[in-house]
Amino acid sequence: MNSRKNLFIFSYMALPVSLYFVFVLVPYLGAMAISLTRWTGTSTLDAIEFRGLQSFQRILSDEKFWSALSHNLLVLIVMPICTLALALLFAALFTQGLKGAKFFRIVFFFPQVMSVAIVAIVWGFVFHPTMGILNGVLNLVAQAFGRAGSNFPWLGNVNTVLPSVISVAIWQAVGFYMVLFIAGMQGIPEELYEVSRIDGASAWVQFWSITIPLLWETIRTAVVFLTIAAMDMYTYVTILTNGSGGPSRAADVLATYMYQQAFGGGNNSNPFGYGTAIGVVLLLIILMLSALGLRVTRREVNEY
Amino acid sequence: MAPPTPPISSYVNYSIPAKNGASWSALLKVFAYVLLVFWAVIVVYPMVWSLIAALKTDAEIFRTPWSIPAILQFENFGRAWKKAQIGAYIGNTFLVIVPAISFTLLLSSMAAYVLARFEFTGKRLLSTMFLIGMMFPVFLALVPLYLVMRYIKEFTGIPMLNTFHGLIVVYIAYSLSWTIFFMTGFFKTLPKEIAEAAMIDGASHSQVFFRVMLPLSKPGLVSAGIFNFLGQWNQFILPTVLMSNANVEAGQTRYVVSQGLYYFQNQQMYQSDFSGLFAAVAIVTLPTLIVYLVFQDRIEKGLTVGALKG
């Protein structure tokens, strides 16, 4: 009987586990190993030379790496704050029983199911200097105030390219976190609100003293997700800047820089070793930030 | 981003007594709706505008973003489908995701069933191992994954890079984590007694799984299928690294949709066909829109379930 059970377990787990091992786990672990080597990747495994932490030393003095990292950090500050604020606001409105809430919810969530590639292509047009609607709208406003319009290149200017990319990411993310918070808010017992209403608390006070504390665990989850998303940004940056990282690489992030080093050809003498080293640093940063995020937001869990 | 708060807010609180609370909340309501409509416009308008642009001529697109097509240019869609090969990209995508989704669902539910219903040594380790895959961004694995694919060819002679079967296998592997997690939760909700009854009647573990548990888990499989459809239809990073169009004859493209769209967008620098590109965007968005509108409830619940319980 027991051997029948074991055979069953083995035969059902064998294929999924081996696929997962070969194509997911081995690459993640392999990244650690390759980052310690010098390897062009064009020759066989024999051509790998062990170089220890050389690639990591090179990272320390690589200005482009630090500039890309600083862009990630800007994303990390701006995107979660804006996304959380909008998502919480909408979720709070939708749990008040507003008429038409369902319709708005469906609309607001839709960007989340669109592919990042399509979102980026559409917004690439929105930001277009002459035929884009962003300048179209701004020029209408300018005309109304008797000013001349402009053809400002949002994605072609060093100062605006990164904020533009970030706003697209926020645009797409808000719906997801909104639905997440709505689900969390619906789990808060109605009596808590009723009791505080009798005590004369305003909706504003209720939001800060009941909703936010009881939603705290969900918000923490959201912070970790947004941290990971902020350290990624690969598809947005690639498509919105046509793979260039923006003018003077002003929107380059670690993921796009890594891709460019590993697969972008160019004059890198150690594409795979250096590319994966950047990936490993990125992984460490993500793990550190997630742990830090969870730590900073840790509170007594509210039982109810 | 939001329109300015009406200055009345503070004024109302102080000087108007509580019995006017109704008009205060009415005002708040108006403000809420203004905000909601404002965001709805920001969400919807770029898409509606792209759809209108898909029906314009290039000249109309360039003139002003507000122009209305004089004649609806439906041939943009035909040109996008054939000349820009969107049809071929969509065909390739289905060729990859139909088997990928089927096997993802089969393999994931097998593993999930075992993880949900059986005790055995190493179970915790396996569960943790699958969970890790949900936390790490895919691009961290890109370089080594590319090398794994190359070395499989070296050791077994089976080409993996730039092949449809290679992409299928990778899609399955990267969909396992989430799908196993989702299906494990689902199997745990099914009553144990049915399986036990079937076992007493002499059914084997496999028969119980395929004849009893799998049919019972249909709703879960449908949800998991929708998510995998959305995820795999939209996949961009994996095919970018694993699928190249180099060395293929004209009309034999290997690209999948998101890759093909990006390629088409890049082509605009050399040979502009903006109306065709807008039409292509509309064509590719359509399947997602339909799936979303039909399964909206399930998608909302399913997408957030992983986040809330994870």
Q: Is residue B223 within 8 Å of B302, Cβ to Cβ?
A: yes
Three-state SS at A3 = helix
Which of B291, B233, B288, B273 has its CA nearest to residue B54? B273
- Across the interface, whether the CB atoms of A111 and B43 are under 8 A apart is answered yes
CATH of the domain at A32: 1.10.3720.10
- Average pLDDT of chain A to the nearest whole number: 88
Which of B82, B61, B93, B43 has its CA nearest to residue B280? B82
- Is residue A303 in a domain? no
Q: Give the C-alpha distances (Å, rounded to integers) separating B262 from A277, B213, B237, B244, B252.
A: 27, 42, 11, 13, 17
pLDDT value for B140: 79
In chain A, residues with a C-beta closer than 8 Å to the C-beta of B173 are: 19-20, 22-24
Among A67-81, A183-197, A223-237, B251-265, which range has the highest average pLDDT?
A67-81
As a whole number of angstroms, the distance between CA A212 and CA B301 comes to 21
A274 touches chain B (CB under 8 A): no
The nearest CA of chain B is from the CA of A161 a distance in Å of 18
pLDDT value for B305: 63
As a whole number of angstroms, the distance between CA B228 and CA B231 comes to 5
- Is residue A15 in a domain? no
Selected residue of B104, B131, B140 to mutate for chain A interface (largest A Cβ count, 10 A):
B140
As a whole number of angstroms, the distance between CA A224 and CA A289 comes to 8
Between A and B, how many CB-CB pairs are < 8 A? 244
Q: Could you tell me which chain A residue has the CA closest to the CA of B170?
A: A23
* Helices A271-296, A254-263: inter-axial angle, 10-degree rounding: 160
As a whole number of angstroms, the distance between CA A95 and CA A98 comes to 8
Helix (H) or strand (E) holding A108: helix A101-113
The nearest CA of chain B is from the CA of A279 a distance in Å of 5
pLDDT value for A73: 94
- C-alpha angle with apex B275: B274 to B276, nearest 5 degrees? 90
Question: Which residues, listed in sequence order, are joined to residue A50 by a DSSP beta bridge?
Answer: A37
Q: Is residue B288 within 8 Å of A115, Cβ to Cβ?
A: yes
As a whole number of angstroms, the distance between CA A293 and CA A76 comes to 11
| Positive/negative CA dihedral, A239, A244, A246, A247 | negative
Number of domains in chain A: 1
Mean pLDDT in order along chain B per 10 residues (310 residues): 40 39 73 93 93 90 83 91 92 96 97 93 91 79 89 90 96 94 88 85 89 89 89 90 85 91 86 89 90 86 60
Place of tokens 């097509």: B69
Class of domain B77-309: mainly alpha
With cut-offs at 50, 70 and 90, classify the pLDDT of residue A45.
low
In chain A, residues with a C-beta closer than 8 Å to the C-beta of B135 are: 228
- Is residue A16 in a domain? no
In chain A, residues with a C-beta closer than 8 Å to the C-beta of B108 are: 16
User: Residue A130 pLDDT more than 90?
Assistant: no
- Across the interface, whether the CB atoms of A258 and B139 are under 8 A apart is answered yes
In chain B, residues with a C-beta closer than 8 Å to the C-beta of A18 are: none
The token duo for A116 is 């990042």
- Is residue A1 in a domain? no
User: Residue A2 pLDDT more than 80?
Assistant: no
φ, ψ (nearest 5 deg) of residue A50? -75, 125
Three-state SS at A37 = strand
A288 touches chain B (CB under 8 A): no
| Positive/negative CA dihedral, B239, B240, B246, B248 | positive
B42 touches chain A (CB under 8 A): yes
- Across the interface, whether the CB atoms of B142 and A228 are under 8 A apart is answered no
B44 touches chain A (CB under 8 A): yes
Residue with the bigger pLDDT between B128 and A2: it is B128
- Across the interface, whether the CB atoms of B148 and A27 are under 8 A apart is answered yes
In chain B, residues with a C-beta closer than 8 Å to the C-beta of A225 are: 307
Q: Could you tell me which chain B residue has the CA closest to the CA of A187?
A: B308
Domain containing A292 equals 24-296
Which of A25, A110, A263 comes nearest B292 by C-beta? Answer: A110
Where are chain B's structural domains? 8-76, 77-309
Q: What is the mean pLDDT of residues A64-81?
A: 95
Place of tokens 């830090």: A292
As a whole number of angstroms, the distance between CA B5 and CA A54 comes to 56
Q: For A190-212, how does the pLDDT look when each residue is reduced to its tens digit (9 = 90+)?
A: 888 888 888 888 888 888 999 99
Q: Is residue B164 within 8 Å of B256, Cβ to Cβ?
A: no
The token duo for B194 is 């049915």
In chain B, residues with a C-beta closer than 8 Å to the C-beta of A28 are: 132, 136, 140-141, 144
What's the predicted TM-score (pTM) here? 0.86
With cut-offs at 50, 70 and 90, classify the pLDDT of residue A42.
low
pLDDT value for A266: 63
User: Residue A272 pLDDT more than 70?
Assistant: yes
Give the CA count within 13 Å in the CB-facing half-sphere of A288.
6
Give, as one character, the DSSP assignment of residue B139.
G
In chain A, residues with a C-beta closer than 8 Å to the C-beta of B141 are: 24, 27-28, 31
Entry field: residues in chain B? 310
Q: Could you tell me which chain A residue has the CA closest to the CA of B179?
A: A16
Residue with the bigger pLDDT between A45 and B112: it is B112
In chain B, residues with a C-beta closer than 8 Å to the C-beta of A174 are: 39
In chain A, residues with a C-beta closer than 8 Å to the C-beta of B121 are: none
> Which stretches of B54-141 are DSSP H helices?
58-63, 75-82, 86-117, 123-135
Q: Could you tell me which chain B residue has the CA closest to the CA of A99?
A: B33
Selected residue of B14, B106, B134, B143 to mutate for chain A interface (largest A Cβ count, 10 A):
B143
φ, ψ (nearest 5 deg) of residue A30? -60, -35
